[in-house]
Structures are given as structure tokens and as C-alpha cells.
């Protein structure tokens, strides 16, 4: 083997190792993302750049109330009356990919995956009620100072207005309540579908900082 061939192979090995490390960091530790919808306005605006922490997913840690998270979009964006189960008000996921390669592309590289960004409102075992324009957790009105003045929280045509969050699930909504397709319509999100927690806003620079 010539010296030139050895040099080329060394460069190839270095590039492969760098790509693998980058993918591992992106999947297990953190990754950048872009806000693409207005559902979290005014907290987050379209086209802002964020950094997500994925440590919680790696450690299978339940997020806290108030955390802004990203999660895989459910297969159905709306539960009909027939599909809704008040004793188990969960989102439907039935788009499981077949084959190791397809699973790798979808789950690890996240190619073809649609994700939502919302705020955690209620945690496992908590009784949620949406009534009179507000959210109540275990009978107490939830104070939401991150909402714009005058914003009313209603069912948005969804079924989830009085329920208990199942174990290992969370209930999440967008801050822009009138324009957010969220758990009110498609049900609670399982822990294993949560992809990351928003930690930092990096663009535009005038709003750089912790979210």
C-alpha cells in the first residue's frame, strides 16, 4: 500500500469518526433546531434558532411543569369522540417503521420525522380541567404569566377538558393557545416520544440567552 493511499484512508477514517461522534452528540446530548410554527408565540417566534438538551431523553427523565419540549408528532392530530378514552387520554402513535435501516433513518437521523414544540402543563397523576378560560391542576388555577394578556384557554375543539394524566405521560400546550394544535386535540404524550428540552435561544442575537 502506497503512502498516498494510507493518507487517504487516514482521512476517511477521521471523517467517519467525526461524523459518528457528531451524530452521537446530536442524539444523546443536544442539537440545534428552528422554530417553524407560531404555536409558542410570544415566548418563541418563527425562525428563531434554539438549542435542545437531549440528556433528559437519554436518562429517561420526566420533564418538569413549565419546561418547553419537543416531541414526535402523533399519527393523528385530532381524537374523535369515538377514539377518545377519558380514562386513558393518550395520543395515537401507529407509524412504526419496519426494518433496522428505516428505523435508523427515522429515529436516529430523524429524516422524515415531524416534531412539535410545546410547554409542559401537567404531569403524571395530575387532574387537569380546562374551564372558564383557564387551566386547573388538581382543582387549583394554574398561573401562566408567560401567556399574553387576555389569552383564553379553551378546548380548541378537542376532547381533553377534564381528565387525569396517565403514568409516564405529560400534557402539553402551546403558549399561543388559539393557534396551537396540541394535547387538547390529540391527547397526552408518552415520555419515550419526548425528544428534547429547550435550553438556549441562539438566534437572533438580540434575544440570545436561556429560554
Which residues form the catalytic set?
Answer: 39, 118
End-to-end CA distance of the chain: 54
Per-residue CA distances from 164 to 87, 96, 110, 119 (Å): 7, 27, 31, 18
- Round to whole Å and give the CA distance between 127 and 105: 37
Assess contact for 177 and 168: CB atoms under 8 A: no
Sign of CA dihedral 42, 45, 46, 50: negative
Burial of 178 (0-12, 13-18, 19+ CB in 10 A): exposed
- Round to whole Å and give the CA distance between 34 and 63: 21
Q: What angle do CA 172, 103, 165 make, to 5 degrees?
A: 20
Q: How many beta carbons lie within 10 A of that of residue 25, not counting itself?
A: 12
Amino acid at each position: 500500500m502506497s503512502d498516498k493511499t494510507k493518507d487517504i484512508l487516514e482521512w476517511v477514517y477521521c471523517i467517519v469518526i467525526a461524523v459518528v461522534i457528531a451524530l452521537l452528540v446530536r442524539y444523546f446530548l443536544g442539537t440545534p433546531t428552528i422554530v417553524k410554527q407560531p404555536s409558542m408565540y410570544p415566548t418563541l417566534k418563527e425562525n428563531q434558532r434554539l438549542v435542545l438538551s437531549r440528556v433528559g431523553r437519554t436518562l429517561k427523565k420526566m420533564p418538569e411543569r413549565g419546561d418547553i419540549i419537543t416531541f414526535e408528532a402523533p399519527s393523528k392530530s385530532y381524537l374523535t369522540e369515538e377514539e377518545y378514552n377519558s380514562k386513558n387520554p393518550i395520543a395515537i402513535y401507529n407509524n412504526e417503521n419496519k426494518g433496522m435501516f428505516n428505523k435508523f433513518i427515522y429515529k436516529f437521523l430523524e429524516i422524515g420525522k415531524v416534531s412539535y414544540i410545546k410547554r409542559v402543563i401537567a404531569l403524571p397523576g395530575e387532574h387537569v380541567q380546562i374551564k372558564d378560560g383557564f387551566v386547573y391542576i388538581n382543582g387549583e388555577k394554574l398561573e401562566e404569566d408567560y401567556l399574553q394578556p387576555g389569552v383564553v384557554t379553551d378546548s380548541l375543539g378537542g376532547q381533553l377538558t377534564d381528565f387525569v394524566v396517565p403514568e409516564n405521560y405529560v400534557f402539553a400546550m402551546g403558549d399561543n393557545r388559539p393557534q396551537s394544535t396540541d394535547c387538547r386535540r390529540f391527547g397526552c404524550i408518552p415520555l419515550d416520544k419526548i425528544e428534547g428540552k429547550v435550553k438556549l435561544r441562539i438566534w437572533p442575537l438580540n434575544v440570545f440567552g436561556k429560554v
